Amino acid sequence: MHPRLLATALAAAFVLASALPTRANDDVLRRTADPAQQVLQTVDYANTRYSRLDQIDTGNVGRLKVAWTFSTGVLRGHEGAPLVVDGVMYVHTPFPNVVYALDLDADGRILWKYEPKQTSDVAAIMCCDLVYRGLAYADGMVFLHQNDTTLVALDARTGAVRWSVANGDPRLGESNTATVMPVKDKVIVGIAGAEFGARGHISAYNIKDGSLAWRAWSTGPDSDLLVDPEKTTELGRPIGKDSSLKSWEGDQWKIGGGATWGWFAYDPTLNLVYYGTANPATWNPSQRPGDNKWSMTIFARDADTGMARWVYQMTPHDQWDYDGVNEMILTDQEIDGHPTPLLTHFDRNGFAYTLNRATGELLRAAPFEPTVNWARGVDLDRASPSYGRPLVDPAHSTETEGEDVTYSGICPAALGAKNQQPAAYSPQTRLFYVPTTRMCMDYEPFHVDYVAGQPYVGATLTMYPAPGSDGRTGALTAWDAVAGRAAWTAPERFSVWSGALATAGGVVFYGTLEGYLKAVDARTGRELFRFRTPSGIVGNVMTYAHRGRQYVAVLSGIGGWAGIGLAAGLTDPNAGSGAGQAYGALTSYTNLGGQLTVFALPDAP
């Protein structure tokens, strides 16, 4: 290993080994302490997407060259990133979720291939392309959560199935697009399907045999939610008995959404798992009076039992499809002069939230995208009865005049000021690097009846560039969460739908919908490198080291909600929930593909 790589790895391993209790999965902790490997899509339990590798830095990143490539054989949206463990790279595809094990000693020679047998009917119940956000590794197993909700544990050496279990039922509109997270002796998984009236839940399966350890629902009775009415708190106050049931009309909670298709974080010291829940169903707010708890909510749950320690609902009675599933990033910083365990979340609704992750106290909430207009802010007055609630602008409510009315000029669009593509955090700069979208929308809600397995949306959207954006609909934003402001912004022609990666070399990597892999200076945002890959990038950049050489890798393959028009060949301007028309110009810049591109310095050891 290169001397700098080795020194960095040993120092990080020593710090983690001495500072963390052995409460998390020991194999995951050991391997995340080695920056040469990647075993989680989020890089670490804290979701920082920060690599301690520094062989590639601001002075030499411009000399990156393609080292090797690999075709996945699938032509839909390629989200997520490969894993690297003990000299083997594990690559996943969108539906049908093929898994490849590639030999890094032989430029990606295929060691084994796992090809699930999934019915094509699953494709019909996936709302926003046939994406999958990637694998996880622990204890000699690679974990795949298929689009049809089958959770599979594969032997990392052979690809043989150790066990598999169904986490949901596609006949009810339940599917999966999210990765999983191994924690201690369990694997944490979510579910998708709010657009089909699926009732969201998070589940923990035992790593040893795939048996269900616990399941916590997003809506319904306290016993289903795994909450204690007197001990589970929101902003320091007990949530009280039947908190969810009281916030829905009748039995609407049974088809109330709140899916869990985003990312998970874990604090080994507090033994808490963090995640967000999605939009309530339907998108038509008039059909579901009340706050619709606990959709649009950040949850902190005990990893062993699933019991909720605290909750925070960011967008009560969501009227705009602002899913709350984006990643929770865990850092330790000073707030008002006090060292504080923090959770930072960049929500689709355009606000950046900073909370005390031990208590759930809301510390900061500010718009990270300047065009946000659906709310004037978030009430941060602890003495106020509306503490923590958004100050909704009535002019941008979507139910003031009822159904079948077009509500115009709402910012951000339902795509969000940021969607699921994960941000990164650098402890060097103490900045978050946030892929953003600058789109607004017109929103027309209409009545829709629930039919199991059929779309349960109830709104038509038209999306377009935000005012003042000069037609540019995206950016990479460097955000100071403590100060609540942007440090710098790098505008992009299209929404940045790729996950960012920050490195100890002072570089931030990300991809663009046109297909460029870009590298910028973490402190200034100055572009240092770009390379055009064969298709648009909606995957997450990763880096690893092999035999002393640092590599950067990214999956390209246009798709996801922003690229679904191209990926699915849509011609109806209203298809793809408005995205087909909004991103129609992409056809002039990229085309379908499915490729892994790996880069390295030509003169590295």
- Catalytic residue positions, numbered: 321
Which residues touch 207 (CB under 8 Å, ≥6 apart)? 25, 138, 139, 141, 153, 182, 185, 186, 187
CA-angle at 327, arms to 323 and 329, nearest 5°: 140
d(CA 41, CA 45): 10
CA-nearest of 419, 353, 442 to 389 is: 353
DSSP code at position 29: H
Residue among 375, 268, 355, 257 nearest 19 (CA): 268
* Torsions phi, psi for 365 (to 5 deg): -160, 115
* 278-294: burial string, b at 16+ Cβ within 10 Å, e else: bbbbbbbbbbbebbbbb
Residue 291 contacts residue 387 (beta carbons within 8 Å) = no
Q: How crowded is residue 57: how many other Cβ atoms within 10 Å of its Cβ?
A: 17
Contact 538, 510 (CB under 8 A): no
3-state helix, strand, coil in the chain (%, to 5): 15, 35, 50
Burial class (CB in 10 A: 0-12, 13-18, 19+), 371: middle
Taking a C-beta distance cutoff of 8 angstroms, is the pair 603, 64 a contact? no
The phi and psi torsions of 177 (rounded to 5 degrees) equal: -130, -10
Q: Which residue has the tokens 């830095």?
A: 57
Alpha-carbon distance of 408 to 591, in angstroms, equals: 32
Residue 342 DSSP one-character state = E
